Every structure is written in C-alpha cells, then in structure tokens.
C-alpha cells in the first residue's frame, strides 16, 4: 500500500540515467505533466489503488523548487477515521424523564381526586341520591371511552368472552365499593369517609389471611395496630358521626379488597392496557348497577330530587353533576394508567399522600369542624397505612 509519494525538482531532469527496470507506473492525468512519474517502490499489483490527494501538483520554473505529494491506498484497505463525537448521557436523561413522568402522574392523580370529592359532596348535599350519582359517574366514563374508541382517539382493546368472564367478579366488587363509598359521603363528611377508607390495608391482610390462607411478616401485622387504632379514634371523636356513613366506608374497604384480589387472579396474562382495562370495568359495572339503582331509588324520586336541586342551586347544579362524573372517571383512569409506569411501592406512597390531600382540602373547603383528638386519630391511621406499604413490599 502506498501512503505517500513526494517528488522534488530533481525527479524531472532531462538527463538519461540508468534506471532499474520499473515495476509500476503512476501517471497523473494533468496535461501540464509531460513526463512519466517512475515509481521504483515495490507493492502488490493484485489490487487497484486510488489517489486520495495531490498537493501542489504543477510544473514550475527550473529555478523554483518543485514538489509533488501523492497519497494512495489500495481499494480494499481501510484507513482509521478519528472522529470525536460527544454523546449525551442517555441514562441520566431517561432517569430524569421517568421522574418527570411520575411527578406528572401523581400531580394529576391527586388533583383530579380532590376535584371529584369536592363536586361529589356538593352534588350529594343538594341531591341525596347516591345510587343515581354513582350510576351517572360510570355512565359518563363509559360514554367517554366509547367515543374515544369510535373516533380512534384511543385504540380499542382486543378482548374476548374469556376476558369478560374474568372481569365480571372484579366489576361486581368495584360496583359495590363505588356505591358504598358514595353512600358514605352522602351521610358524613368527606374527611371522615377517607379516614375510614385509609383502613383498607387492614381488611386486605385479614381477608388474605383467613380466606386465602396467606401469611405475612410480623412488621405487616404490627402496622395494622396504628391503622385500626387511628381509625377508631377518629370515628369515636367525629362530631358528625353517622352509622350509615361509617358502615358505607367499611363496606367500601372490604369490596375494594376483593376487587384487587379478583383483578390479580383474572388479569394474569392479559395484554389490555390500564386505561382500557378500567374502561371495560366501568362499562360492565354500569350494566350491573343500573337495574339496582332503579329498584332502590327509582325515576320518581330522581325527578323530584332533581327539581328540588335545580330550584335551590340553579343551573350550576348541572355543572356539578357533570364535573363529578367526568372527574371520577379521569382520576380512576390515571390511577390505573400509573400502575403501568411506577412500582407498587411508589403507588402505595402516592395513594397515602392522596388521602392526606383529600382530607385536608375537604376540611378547608367545607369548613368541617375537627377536634384535635380527631386530627390525631387521622394522622395515626395514615401513618399506619404508610408503614404497611413499607412492610408489605
């Protein structure tokens, strides 16, 4: 391989010198060159070579020093190319994007949940029919998803009959939990309902232990003590205690525990996204709830209550109903979508913080009277829920 050839003025003399028999010739194509360039260096003739660069290739006067530099390489020989490219730190960028995504999920989840609880309580204060209110929430979410699928805003799930069979017990538990929580909030303050609902981990452990035969580490059982004690302290010191509201929150806890158990068993191996899974759950729950809502309350009671609410609140009441229905679907949808992106530990911490945000915001907005001992019970219960999430994982 020829890497360079340098010629000086002496290379272009007219004298005839005895030269050895040349092996190869390299003849430039410039018209100004009248003599052949004789190269006496030995190299392989089995491969073609190319001129990569020619510097100062010209014939000058005899008084001037002339030089020609040729660089050549064989056709199939590779030459190292030194290029320094500064690539960004991909790992750091991905971690930052993940943190940002989790922050957006949490902020959206908490905000939507707080807004739903506020409008839901406003609607129930003016329209005390929790069965219809629960039905409207599921109907609005189902309609939103059907429109999204029809307009291809969201991809429709690929389901079969087996999918709906496994989803049915989940939908039954979801329907009971949703109605029970709404009944609770129609009778007591939002803060009290969520304090009692913070005891859901205790129901989860008890059901799993006595019905499913599962065992847990000792720290898990110990974390139940502050949960049960805090909920009991908050219930005893609640100024507006109501047995129906209390039992509604307790039934909601139990129903959601069974919903989680059925969901884990029935959704193994399914490829439905979190958003579409909750959409299918809403549609099936709506079909289950509608006949029971009609039987328990009925259109006559709804019509009378609607007229009374409109006369007292005005057209704003329609906005309240629409808002609580839309925000109920959105906050649940975001919570299911977040399960695809974050770990169970992160989700449990976020759920605990969500309880705090709902309790505090409802107390401030509705001016709920809270005694110090009641606030202490709520804080103990929430702390126990956090400790449970740490010991469980």
- Supply angle C-alpha 294, 124, 145, rounded to 5: 65
Q: How far apart are CA 280 and CA 266, in angstroms?
A: 14
CB 272 within 8 A of CB 157: yes
List the one residue out of 199, 204, 187 whose CA is nearest residue 238. Answer: 187
For residue 178, what are its two tokens? 């949703």
Query: What's the order of all strands across the beta sheet hosting 49-55?
Result: 5-7, 68-74, 49-55
- pTM assigned to the model: 0.71
Write the DSSP symbol of residue 156. P
CB 196 within 8 A of CB 235: yes
Residues 6+ apart with CB under 8 A from 245: 183, 184, 185, 186, 187, 188, 192, 193
Residues 6+ apart with CB under 8 A from 312: 126
CB 201 within 8 A of CB 388: yes
Q: How far apart are CA 140 and CA 282, in angstroms?
A: 9
Q: Where are the domains of the chain?
A: 5-74, 93-392
For residue 69, what are its two tokens? 């530099």
- β-bridge partners, 38: 25
Q: How far apart are CA 244 and CA 2, in angstroms?
A: 96
For residue 149, what are its two tokens? 């699928």
Q: What is the pLDDT along the chain (393 residues), one digit of tens a residue?
A: 444 444 444 444 444 445 555 544 444 544 444 444 444 444 454 555 555 555 554 444 444 455 555 555 454 555 555 555 544 577 778 877 777 877 787 788 888 999 999 999 999 999 999 999 999 999 999 999 999 999 988 888 888 888 898 899 999 999 999 999 999 999 999 989 998 888 888 888 888 888 878 888 888 889 889 988 988 888 888 877 899 999 999 999 899 888 877 776 655 556 677 788 889 999 999 999 999 999 999 999 999 999 999 999 998 899 999 999 999 999 888 887 776 666 555 666 677 778 888 888 888 888 888 888 888 988 998 888 888 877 776
Cα radius of gyration (the chain): 39
């Amino acid at each position: 391989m020829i890497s360079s050839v340098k010629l000086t003025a002496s290379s272009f003399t007219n004298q005839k010198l005895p030269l050895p028999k040349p092996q190869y010739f390299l003849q430039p194509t410039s018209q100004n060159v009248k003599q052949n360039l004789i190269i006496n260096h030995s190299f392989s003739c089995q491969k073609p070579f190319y001129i990569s660069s020619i510097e100062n290739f010209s014939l000058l006067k005899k008084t001037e020093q002339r030089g020609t530099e040729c660089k050549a390489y064989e056709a199939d020989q590779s030459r190292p190319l030194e290029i320094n490219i500064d690539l960004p730190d991909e790992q750091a960028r991905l971690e930052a994007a993940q943190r940002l995504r989790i922050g957006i999920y949490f902020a959206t989840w908490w905000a939507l949940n707080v807004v739903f609880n506020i409008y839901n309580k406003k609607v129930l204060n003016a329209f005390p029919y929790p069965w219809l209110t629960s039905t409207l929430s599921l109907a609005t979410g189902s309609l939103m998803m059907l429109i999204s699928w029809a307009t291809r805003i969201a991809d429709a799930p690929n389901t079969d009959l087996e999918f709906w069979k496994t989803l049915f017990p989940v939908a039954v538990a979801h329907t009971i939990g949703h109605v029970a929580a709404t009944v609770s909030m129609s009778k007591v303050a939002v803060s009290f309902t969520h304090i009692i609902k913070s005891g859901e981990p205790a129901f989860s452990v008890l059901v799993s232990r006595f019905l499913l035969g599962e065992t847990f580490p000792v720290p898990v059982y110990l974390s139940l003590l502050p949960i049960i004690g805090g909920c009991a302290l908050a219930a005893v010191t609640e100024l507006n205690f109501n047995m129906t509201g209390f039992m509604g929150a307790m039934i909601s806890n139990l129903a959601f525990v069974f919903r989680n158990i059925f969901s884990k068993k029935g959704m193994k191996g399914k490829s439905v996204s979190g958003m579409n899974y909750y959409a299918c759950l809403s549609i099936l729950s709506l079909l289950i709830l509608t006949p029971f809502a009609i039987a328990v309350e009925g259109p006559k009671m709804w019509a009378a209550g609607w007229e009374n609410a409109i006369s007292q609140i005005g057209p704003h009441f329609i906005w309240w109903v629409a808002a609580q229905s839309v925000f109920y679907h959105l906050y649940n949808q975001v919570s299911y979508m977040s399960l695809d992106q974050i770990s169970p530990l992160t989700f449990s911490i976020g759920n605990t913080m969500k309880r705090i945000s709902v309790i505090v915001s409802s107390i401030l907005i509705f001016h709920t009277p809270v005694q110090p001992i009641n606030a202490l019970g709520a804080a103990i219960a929430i702390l126990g829920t956090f400790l449970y999430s740490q010991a469980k994982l």
